[in-house]
Chain A
Amino acid sequence: MKLRKRPKSIFPLLNGIILCLVGALCLYPMLYIVFASLSEPARIMKHTGLLLGPLGFTFEGYTLAFRNPNILTGYMNTIFYVAVGTACSLAVTAAGAFVTSRKDAMLAKPIMLGIIFTMYFSGGLIPLYLLVNNLGLYNTRMAIILVGLVNTWNLIVMRTSYLGIPDSLEESAKIDGASPLRTFTSIYLPLSKPMLATMTLFYGVGNWNSWFNHMIFLRDRAKYPLQLIMREILIANDMSSMTNMNTVGTYTNDMYQVLVKYAVVVIATLPILCIYPFLQRYFIKGVMVGAIKG
């Protein structure tokens, strides 16, 4: 009895310490970037090692970053892509995952296999580009939403969570004579609330971070998302990138440019970090069980 009690009392403390360490390791790099973005450029360039606070204090990095005409439009565009893209993706994925999780539908499995196949065999960039072009979607915001409509990985996760819902619940609905749509909206959707929250997060963050499709399918810089602008700034001084357009005349005597890189990371990251705490309440134990019983 004694042996079994001892680990019980030590574990929460140990666990707390471990998680504190993990938390610190995860938090610090972000803090470093924030500190660096506020430091005096000459001092930050000379500094090595850990940074425990801003070296000096200046907002010049942020002022400079916002002087870039593309940052603000980038923000607006990103918000559009995240809001509209996530809503559309969520609806299509949730419905599609429901259908492919039905064991009594003969086509569910073939459809799923067909989808998994596309994870491995795609046509590559050029045919997709030509297709989007021929559909008249090139350089439209619609192209971004449509090309990224369903993420197969998310679909599989969603489908798996549906598969975990006990058949008994559904059978009772069937006895009531509910249509598939009704079963979906009144049983499956409420039951998978945490999963829907997860999907919102996955799609939301995915849309926030994405830049590749935008780079391929948009021509107007006025439609660029923030991430694409940030990328341009981050790789600008990187001599290992092989764009020889930039080998000469990249270096400015303007030391504050060093800060812009850090500032831009902060600008592009903070808003999306704030989403998580909002969605977190759906991850709290018991929410779902209560919802069914209620």
Chain B
Amino acid sequence: MTKRNSKRKSIALLACLACAASLALSACSTPSSESSALSSSSSAPSSSSSAASQEDSSSQAEPAGTGETISYWVPLHSNAAQVLTDWNDNECFQELERQTGVHVNFIHPPVGQELEQYNLMVASQELPDIISYDYPSGADSAIDENIYRPLDDLMEYSPNMQAIIDSNPEIRKQMTTTNGHIWGWGQFNLPENQGDKGQYSISPWAGPAVRADWLEELKLDAPETIDDWHTMLVAFRDQKGATAPLILPKSGRSGQSIFVSAFGVGAGFYQEDGKVKFGPMEPGFKDYLALMNQWYSEGLLDPDFAATASDSNFYAEYLTTGKAGSITETYQDIVPLYNSLFEGGEGKVAAVPYPVKNKGDQLHLGSLSPIVETGNGRRDYLTTAVSDDRLEAVCRWRDNWYTEESTMLFNYGIEGRSYNMEDGRPVYTDLIANNPDGLDYAVSSWKYKLFCGPYIYNAFAMPDPQIEASWASISTWISNNDRTDQMPPSEVPVENAKEYSGIMTEVNTYQDQMILSFIMGMEPLDNFDAFVEELKKLGIEKAIEYQQKGLDTYNSH
């Protein structure tokens, strides 16, 4: 007993001491120690703990191409995380390093926690050289607060991007902040790479889809007008036994204004002849609600649409088992997924045009990517951490992304490895098109090319069968929709941003509640005017005014 006790005692004592010592040590150690990851200078190449460079990296006088190291903070796509730990595992960046001699320390936040990590990084003022993430209150605030450095006076080091900006006034507008700065480096969706030459370019990536095999069986044409849709949905309900003929998004309205746009209004902010409007308070929206309310009561919608999880598995289950026959809003890259789920090919989901009120109507609202892509991981910003003597090297390295060779590299990978030229056009090898490790295209293209990112992006740089499938959906969706009323990527002015976001949180909560209540019949449509009044009370008119200011400045650039 005593022996056991003394042994236990000494263990406990040891453990306590060890902890006390470690605590004391950690409390005393100075910030300048080696283990402080962020303060290590950028000249230390690829050491696992050195990550971001600091402002005072005075030893960085070497010109580009000779052992320069650039630190680069960029979110990791969830598909990329399946095959890489770091973008240096991507063959394009290995090739780029061979070409330029510049090593990059990639810093990737955990997938799904980007915003938190970003805020901590910025708050601690330990910035890398380049950040691929939008400042929460806009690029102008970031420039005012001395976090991002605009490229205004550095464009001489970015000749390739300058050429792109000069080539298209729309690109110039989108590259310029409200305060007139050039914010950074963008992902360019040039019209010639999109199969579409719209005003802000770009292919719609979302639209409606239906069970094409049912249409055939029921001898129906692909629906165009809302009346066609009604006939079709009733047939699905009565003859195919669908319990939820139409899948409506959880919020009761499509973010891409599908169905809403048939009534001439948008699901959110949109513009008409340069004048900003807010869809849910326009009379057309009442008609939309009336229609959905009618369909809901007729059993044409999923009775639980507002409660269900909005993930693709759920929709796939409904479409392929025959519980549903159509979906309000889906994406061009998911349509093939639905089709792959039918056992023995017994079924087919196909895109149909955006619904209209009267046959032959032209729509002006729908899904649209701007010519300079928005979103995190699509826009790169230069930070103020880059010292003056390194500016040229960093900018020139980054501008190198926009050369013809790099465009091929990012879109297709390395010639002879991931693609070959056949009849003057690049064709993927099996490494991407039919990966030996069984990687899907959307996964393998994070390893052998860059799936997407701030380079000259070619939406159709994909294996042939995918091109066909994508184009089938996209060409259908643009057939009756020019999307000219869609808001361009303008920003609410910095000084109004906080108030705007406060107003919109309240507005969104309230309208989510009311729109669902109208559709599900909990709230009679006679109360629509009261709903609009309440929106006004919550300050929606001010929000519209701020959006208008942003749009006006955007148009003036």
Give residues in A with beta carbon < 8 Å to B.
42, 45-48, 67-70, 87-88, 90-92, 94-95, 125-126, 129-130, 133-140, 142, 146, 149, 181-182, 184-186, 189-190, 215-216, 219-222, 224, 228, 231-233, 235-241, 243-255, 257-258, 294
User: Given A46-B321, A146-B26, A185-B12, is A251 in contact with B333 using a C-beta cutoff of 8 Å?
Assistant: yes
For B5, what are the chain A residues with a Cβ–Cβ distance below 8 Å?
Answer: 185-186, 190
The distance from the CB of B369 to the nearest CB of chain A, in whole angstroms, is 9
Q: Are B311 and A136 in contact (CB under 8 A)?
A: no
Q: Kindly list 12 other residue pairs between chains A and B, CB separation below 8 angstroms, not including A239-B310, A252-B443.
A: A46-B341, A90-B15, A125-B116, A134-B31, A135-B31, A137-B35, A139-B51, A140-B35, A146-B23, A232-B110, A235-B111, A236-B81
Contact of B19 among A88, A181, A216, A245 (CB under 8 A): A88
Could you write out 28 A-B pairs with CB less than 8 Å apart?
A67-B82, A91-B12, A91-B19, A133-B31, A133-B38, A133-B126, A136-B30, A136-B33, A137-B35, A138-B38, A139-B51, A146-B26, A190-B5, A215-B117, A228-B110, A232-B110, A233-B81, A235-B78, A236-B78, A237-B78, A237-B311, A243-B75, A246-B111, A249-B333, A250-B77, A250-B78, A252-B79, A255-B340
Closest to B439 in A: A254
For B287, what are the chain A residues with a Cβ–Cβ distance below 8 Å?
Answer: none
- Please encode chain B, from 321 to 359, with 1 for each CB lying within 8 Å of some chain A CB and 0 for all others: 100000000010110110011010000000000000000
Contact of A185 among B8, B48, B311 (CB under 8 A): B8
- Give the complex CA separation of A222 and B22 in angstroms: 23
User: Given A140-B35, A222-B48, is A232 in contact with B111 using a C-beta cutoff of 8 Å?
Assistant: yes
The distance from the CB of A257 to the nearest CB of chain B, in whole angstroms, is 8
Closest to B52 in A: A219
- Give the complex CA separation of A230 and B120 in angstroms: 23
Query: B297 in the interface, Cβ–Cβ < 8 Å?
Result: no
For A135, what are the chain B residues with a Cβ–Cβ distance below 8 Å?
Answer: 26-27, 29, 31
Q: Are A249 and B36 in contact (CB under 8 A)?
A: no
The distance from the CB of A253 to the nearest CB of chain B, in whole angstroms, is 5
The distance from the CB of A150 to the nearest CB of chain B, in whole angstroms, is 10
For B30, what are the chain A residues with a Cβ–Cβ distance below 8 Å?
Answer: 136
Closest to B332 in A: A248
Q: Which of A130, A232, A240, A248 has the most CB of B within 10 A?
A: A248
For A90, what are the chain B residues with a Cβ–Cβ distance below 8 Å?
Answer: 15
Closest to B112 in A: A235
For A245, what are the chain B residues with a Cβ–Cβ distance below 8 Å?
Answer: 75, 77, 114, 375-377
Task: Tell me how many residue pairs across A and B have CB atoms closer than 8 Å.
Answer: 211
For A248, what are the chain B residues with a Cβ–Cβ distance below 8 Å?
Answer: 205, 331, 333, 452
Contact of B376 among A68, A220, A244, A252 (CB under 8 A): A244
Query: B496 in the interface, Cβ–Cβ < 8 Å?
Result: no
Query: B107 in the interface, Cβ–Cβ < 8 Å?
Result: yes
- Give the complex CA separation of A68 and B83 in angstroms: 6
Q: Are B120 and A126 in contact (CB under 8 A)?
A: yes
Contact of A251 among B1, B33, B48, B337 (CB under 8 A): B337
Closest to A260 in B: B82
User: Given A222-B48, A236-B78, A243-B114, is A42 in contact with B341 using a C-beta cutoff of 8 Å?
Assistant: yes
Q: Are A136 and B35 in contact (CB under 8 A)?
A: yes
User: Given A136-B35, A139-B49, A220-B49, is A232 in contact with B29 using a C-beta cutoff of 8 Å?
Assistant: no
For A70, what are the chain B residues with a Cβ–Cβ distance below 8 Å?
Answer: 81, 85
Q: Are A136 and B36 in contact (CB under 8 A)?
A: yes
Q: Are B124 and A249 in contact (CB under 8 A)?
A: no
Q: Are A253 and B36 in contact (CB under 8 A)?
A: no
The distance from the CB of B338 to the nearest CB of chain A, in whole angstroms, is 10
Q: Are B442 and A221 in contact (CB under 8 A)?
A: no
- Give the complex CA separation of A216 and B120 in angstroms: 8
Q: Which 6 A-B pairs have the closest CB atoms?
A: A91-B15, A236-B78, A185-B9, A252-B440, A254-B440, A232-B111
Q: Are B37 and A219 in contact (CB under 8 A)?
A: yes
For B112, what are the chain A residues with a Cβ–Cβ distance below 8 Å?
Answer: 231-232, 235-236, 241, 243
- Give the complex CA separation of A250 and B180 in angstroms: 34
The distance from the CB of A3 to the nearest CB of chain B, in whole angstroms, is 49
